[in-house]
Structure 1
Amino acid sequence: MPRSLPLSLPCSLPRRSLFALSLLTLGLIAAAPVRAEEASTAEQTVDVMNTLFGKHPGLRANHAKGIVVEGSFTPSPEAAALSKASLFKGPAVPVTARFSDATGVPTIPDGSPDATPHGLALRFKLPDGDMDVVVNALKFFPVATGEEFRDLLTAIAKSGPDAAKPTPLERFVASHPAAGKAGATAKTPTSLARQTFNGINAFVLVDAAGRRQAFRWRFVPVEGEDLMAPDAAARQSPTFLMDEIRTRLGTAPAAYRVEAQLAESGDPTDDATKPWPEARRSVVLGTLTLTKPVADSLEAEKALLFLPNALVDGVEVSDDPLIDARVQAYAVSFGRRSQ
């Protein structure tokens, strides 16, 4: 599958390497290099991403291009039966959200296949504290752990045009089947309001009686998903998605059904490379309604750090190791881009 190489990318990667990288977005953000013997997995991961995409001071090293918007979440009656969380108890609560393109290139065209999967990060502002949710358009993730993600990025970085065959990336994909398949599950939408966003990690709902239910988030556009063919996406203006959502919210809201896909006995909760069957029951937890872009998106996003484990009573992390890997990497990189 040929992919165009962003002109601002600092190193010469083969198209297949960049394609593989674009499948793998965790939303990691900018980092400065540290010596390998002193670096944690999180530091090594953000360093490799910084190498692949270049350093853009103050911006995320992945999902660098985005737009911040505001709106609200209104819970459904069914949600309160599954979880005692304040998110599902009362009236609508305010939400701050950020849509984003993949890669750490802030000028990447919205219609580029390298800009997929698009991301959506949300902060629900609740009486007992903020709660964050981070989702993207992938249906499953290419790897299962933070160490594997670091190793995949490292393999990509070492698989330049002069690399011997089989390249490190080819060897990695051969031993990690999901790494070569995940990206095909995300395509360019006609609008960010017409994209389905999935939670690749499992979380746990806890009800008032202490009963626990593993689930994965799903944000389904009320207007329906509408995806573009790659050639049609390539003909769009470089900022068409960001421009369209800004214009759209100036005239009408963008709404999503917030669903919980419920795990059944035997469904893995610790492996993001393994999606649950589509036949699994989904419960509508409420409606997300986005109503306006913030006045200065670039300024607003500087202070935003979305952490997948920032939860309230009634929603808990599962045994998925990627959740902690994401939290650690986000914390490391946020500190660096804030300097």
Structure 2
Amino acid sequence: MNPIKLTLLAKACLITGFALTSPTLIAAEKTIPELVDAVNGTPDAASREAGKKVKLRNHTKGFCTSGSFKPNPKLQDTLTIPFFNQDTIKVTARFSLGGANPKISDKTPGRFMSLKIDGDKENLNFVTTNIPVFFASNLDEFFTFQTKSKQGAEGKQWLIDNQPHAKAFFDFVKQLPPSPSFANSPYYGVNSFLFTAKNGEIQPGRWIFEPVAGTAALSTEELANLSDNFLQAELLKRIQTQPAQWNLYIQLAEKGDVIDDPMAIWPQTRQRLLVGQVIINGERDSDPQVQQCDKGIFNPVLLPKGITPSADPILNARTPAYVESLIRRL
């Protein structure tokens, strides 16, 4: 790595709280640059340089807005997380679609929500999707999925024929109807985290955001009458009169549940703890931090006391991959 990029990486790590000595950078099945190339579809030097010129990134199509988070005070009866002892905490949100295509249609089913909850002394970031099923258990599978997906129908069929995890993902997406609003989608953190219980024990769990407005799906007829760019305008108009809201839960694992594999689905009967409520109302949309939120990264392992990452390799590769992608856009 040349000195300029090393300096930029160091600055990015200071901003995000991520260390240069992360074992993910050393022990990953695939290197971080290889993973970013797979996501961006830049397998060689020429395509990589072309990608840098257009500031290529995943979740290219998206927008920033703002609001607040209201913690549930009763959470402290079960978990010890001082961060949630605050009254109301400011939120910066980015809603987006998947992929590096800035012209992807809003009629596709995928919805993504990233949040920065900035407290008085600590911060908490979320990277979530409306698809609770992930497509890879490890970094090799992740790399193969992203690489084959860029090959079109032939690559997708290869994944269906050869990777059961990818097939399960495609099967789920196939039956998932597009929602009429970001506000009508649930969002899932497919990775697990470790939470400190009041008795000092460590409790694994996952994030789930449930929309207060309820879930909704567009019919074929409704979809036909919409443009390919309706989601941003719909949400920003909605929050002028009423906020978009989600109840945030932690779904708790039980003995025998697989913790470090994002492909593992836990039974819906698992206990859920109400953490609080996200309220998106655009109240800080004029702030530079909000207006420029898509120029940085959302770091899912920037965590307050009482929460630590699990050993999930997908989770622990996210931050260095996001930093690598950021450096390529500078």
In the alignment, which residue of structure 1 is the partner of 2:179? 189
Q: Do the aligned partners of residues 186 and 201 (structure 1) sit closer, same or farther apart at CA in structure 2, a change above 3 Å counting?
A: farther
Q: Deviations over 1:67-97 (max 9, x none)?
A: 1111111111231123322332120111111
The 5 A counterparts of 1:147-158 are 147-158=140-151
Letter in 2 for 1:315: I
In the alignment, which residue of structure 2 is the partner of 1:268? 258
C-alpha contact (below 8 Å) 1:67/1:298 kept by paired residues: no
2-structure distance, mates of 1:241, 1:299: 18
Query: Within the alignment, does 1:103 sit opposite 2:99 as a pair?
Result: yes
Query: Within the alignment, does 1:314 sit opposite 2:306 as a pair?
Result: yes
Letter in 1 for 2:250: A
The 5 A counterparts of 1:211-226 are 211-226=201-216
2-structure distance, mates of 1:261, 1:109: 32
Q: Do the aligned partners of residues 205 and 337 (structure 1) sit closer, same or farther apart at CA in structure 2, a change above 3 Å counting?
A: same
The 5 A counterparts of 1:229-240 are 229-230=219-220, 232-240=222-230
Once the two structures are TM-superposed, the CA of residue 158 in structure 1 deviates from its matched residue by 4.5
Q: Report which stretch shifted further, 81-90 or 95-104.
A: 81-90
Once the two structures are TM-superposed, the CA of residue 287 in structure 1 deviates from its matched residue by 0.8
C-alpha contact (below 8 Å) 2:65/2:94 kept by paired residues: yes
In the alignment, which residue of structure 2 is the partner of 1:127? 120
The structure where helix makes up a greater share of residues is 2
In the alignment, which residue of structure 2 is the partner of 1:35? none
Q: Deviations over 1:233-258 (max 9, x none)?
A: 34312221110011111222111111
Scaled by the length of structure 1, the TM-score of the pair is 0.78
2-structure distance, mates of 1:212, 1:176: 31
Letter in 1 for 2:295: A
Q: Do the aligned partners of residues 159 and 168 (structure 1) sit closer, same or farther apart at CA in structure 2, a change above 3 Å counting?
A: farther
The root-mean-square deviation of aligned C-alpha atoms, in Å, is 2.7
Once the two structures are TM-superposed, the CA of residue 189 in structure 1 deviates from its matched residue by 1.1
1-structure distance, mates of 2:289, 2:63: 6
Letter in 1 for 2:128: V
Scaled by the length of structure 2, the TM-score of the pair is 0.80
Letter in 2 for 1:156: S
2-structure distance, mates of 1:159, 1:119: 22
Q: Do the aligned partners of residues 185 and 205 (structure 1) sit closer, same or farther apart at CA in structure 2, a change above 3 Å counting?
A: farther
Which of 71, 86, 89 is 1:90 aligned to? 86
C-alpha contact (below 8 Å) 1:204/1:318 kept by paired residues: yes
In the alignment, which residue of structure 1 is the partner of 2:267? 277
Once the two structures are TM-superposed, the CA of residue 319 in structure 1 deviates from its matched residue by 2.0
C-alpha contact (below 8 Å) 1:137/1:185 kept by paired residues: no
Once the two structures are TM-superposed, the CA of residue 56 in structure 1 deviates from its matched residue by 7.6
Which stretches in structure 2 are left out of the alignment for 5+ residues? 1-28
Regions of 4+ moved over 4 Å: 56-60, 158-161, 174-177, 296-299
2-structure distance, mates of 1:159, 1:225: 31
Once the two structures are TM-superposed, the CA of residue 230 in structure 1 deviates from its matched residue by 5.0
Letter in 2 for 1:266: G
Paired residue total: 294
1-structure distance, mates of 2:206, 2:317: 18
Q: Deviations over 1:89-133 (max 9, x none)?
A: 12011111111011211122211x2xx321111111112222111
C-alpha contact (below 8 Å) 1:96/1:124 kept by paired residues: yes
Which stretches in structure 1 are left out of the alignment for 5+ residues? 1-38
C-alpha contact (below 8 Å) 2:30/2:139 kept by paired residues: no
Q: Do the aligned partners of residues 150 and 306 (structure 1) sit closer, same or farther apart at CA in structure 2, a change above 3 Å counting?
A: same
Q: What SS is found at the alignment partner of 1:181?
A: helix
In the alignment, which residue of structure 2 is the partner of 1:336? 328
C-alpha contact (below 8 Å) 2:40/2:56 kept by paired residues: no
Q: What SS is found at the alignment partner of 1:78?
A: helix
C-alpha contact (below 8 Å) 2:247/2:278 kept by paired residues: yes
Q: Report which stretch shifted further, 295-304 or 259-268.
A: 295-304
Q: Do the aligned partners of residues 167 and 280 (structure 1) sit closer, same or farther apart at CA in structure 2, a change above 3 Å counting?
A: closer
Q: Do the aligned partners of residues 60 and 317 (structure 1) sit closer, same or farther apart at CA in structure 2, a change above 3 Å counting?
A: farther
Q: What SS is found at the alignment partner of 2:41?
A: helix
Q: What SS is found at the alignment partner of 2:292?
A: helix
Q: What SS is found at the alignment partner of 2:236?
A: helix
Q: Deviations over 1:249-277 (max 9, x none)?
A: 12221111111111111111111112111
Once the two structures are TM-superposed, the CA of residue 231 in structure 1 deviates from its matched residue by 5.3
Once the two structures are TM-superposed, the CA of residue 323 in structure 1 deviates from its matched residue by 0.5
2-structure distance, mates of 1:170, 1:126: 43
Q: Report which stretch shifted further, 199-208 or 289-298.
A: 289-298
